[in-house]
Homo-oligomer: A and B are copies of this chain.
Amino acid sequence: MAKCEAEDPLLERTIDSSHQSPHNNALKRRNYRRCKSVPSEDIYHPGQHNVPTPQHPESIFANKLDFKLVLLFLTAYLAIGSLCFFLVRNQIKGKKTNGILDAVYFCIVTMTTVGYGDLVPDSIMAKSLACVFVFIGMALVGFLLSKAADNIVEKQEVFFVKAMHMSEKCSDVEILREVETKRVKYKFITVLVSLVMLIFIGTIFLYQLEGLDLFDAFYCVCATITTLGYGDKSFSTSGGRLFAAFWILISTICLGQFFYSLAELYTERRRESTVKWVLTRKLTVSDLEAADFDNDNVVSAAEFIVYKLKEMGKISEEDIATVMEGFKKLDVDQSGTLTKADLVNSEASDT
């Protein structure tokens, strides 16, 4: 490989930004976001070359679709579940209030696996329904946790970061950058604040409207959001059950999200320490030899990236092998590199 005189735009940019103060870290990282080699839509000219859209069709709207899909599932689940339990309301024993409210409340208590036991199914039909709905409910809550929750948390994050940096008068762009670089941390803070608020609201509600004493109200909140639901304390008024239907769903998911976010924070810390170790450990001659993918006695930037990302565990031998199979097919003249000539030859052999 001929040594190119640092004409790589990425390299230059790295040099430029390395003299900035540590406070500009967010800005610095942002600089790389759209470097030359990212498959960007600006680079592709679909009309010209008649190529398909360069993004995987499934992934374009995946997140947006997933979110809407989850909401659709949730609505359908609650509607069908409540209707079913309303129809078998005479086969459910326990403290009753309003028929429809009880059905919705029972549906949510079952779905979130709180299962107080203040209402229990009392026939084979009702028990079977409860079994079916608890399994589907569990899957749905998991789906909600993985898809919808992230989506909602993301929007809240920006709000919280704005509130936290109120005195510093940051611009919206700066805030979005800050959120992006410390995503995991801010996600955790957002979920934590939401959880504390939900616990507070639940406790006050049970204290004021259900007439529990303050400690019992807090105890009932803890037993509910963890889905423990002993059932010695629960929502017994029709107003309480209406509130419970919304509050239980949101707060159980929020606690799940809290534990998930905690695990993410831990993983991120650990990943950062691995990355740091891989990047700061001394490079040896044997490393150079191992990283030299095409045996030309120099390590190019791309070779270094592949070597280090593999060492970090970001990519595996298997990933590389899979891509290399594609490379080999494209490299028609077997030169070890891809050129425009390879593309022309490849097209010729296709037709």
The chain A residues found within 8 Å of chain B, CB to CB, are 1-11, 14-15, 18, 29, 31-40, 43-45, 49, 51-52, 54, 56-59, 110, 113-117, 120-121, 124, 127-128, 130-131, 134-135, 138-139, 142, 146, 215-216, 218-219, 222-223, 226-232, 255, 259, 262-263, 270, 273-275, 277-311, 313-315, 317-328, 330-331, 334-340, 343, 346
Contacts and interface: CB of A to CB of B under 8 A. Distances in A.
Contacts of A138: 226, 255, 259
Contacts of A36: 290, 293
A39 B311 contact: yes
Looking at chain A's contact residues, the main secondary structure is helix
8 contacts: A8-B293, A11-B331, A18-B328, A37-B307, A56-B274, A59-B313, A113-B227, A120-B232
A118 to B, nearest CB: 9
A120 B223 CA distance: 11
B317 A315 contact: no
A210 B294 CA distance: 69
Given A302-B302, A320-B32, A323-B304, A334 B284 contact: no
Given A8-B336, A290-B36, A315-B314, A343 B285 contact: yes
A58 B15 CA distance: 31
Given A117-B117, A307-B37, A343-B283, A337 B11 contact: no
A306 B307 contact: no
Nearest to A6: B334
Given A58-B270, A230-B231, 11 more contacts: A4-B336, A7-B295, A32-B318, A37-B307, A44-B286, A54-B311, A115-B229, A279-B322, A284-B343, A304-B327, A305-B327
A285 B340 contact: yes
Contacts of A32: 317-318, 320-321, 324
A117 B6 contact: no
A267 to B, nearest CB: 10
A58 to B, nearest CB: 6
Counting from the closest, the 6 A-B pairs by CB-CB distance are A32-B321, A115-B228, A302-B302, A117-B231, A1-B1, A298-B337
A269 to B, nearest CB: 10
B302 A336 contact: no
Contacts of A14: 321, 324-325, 328
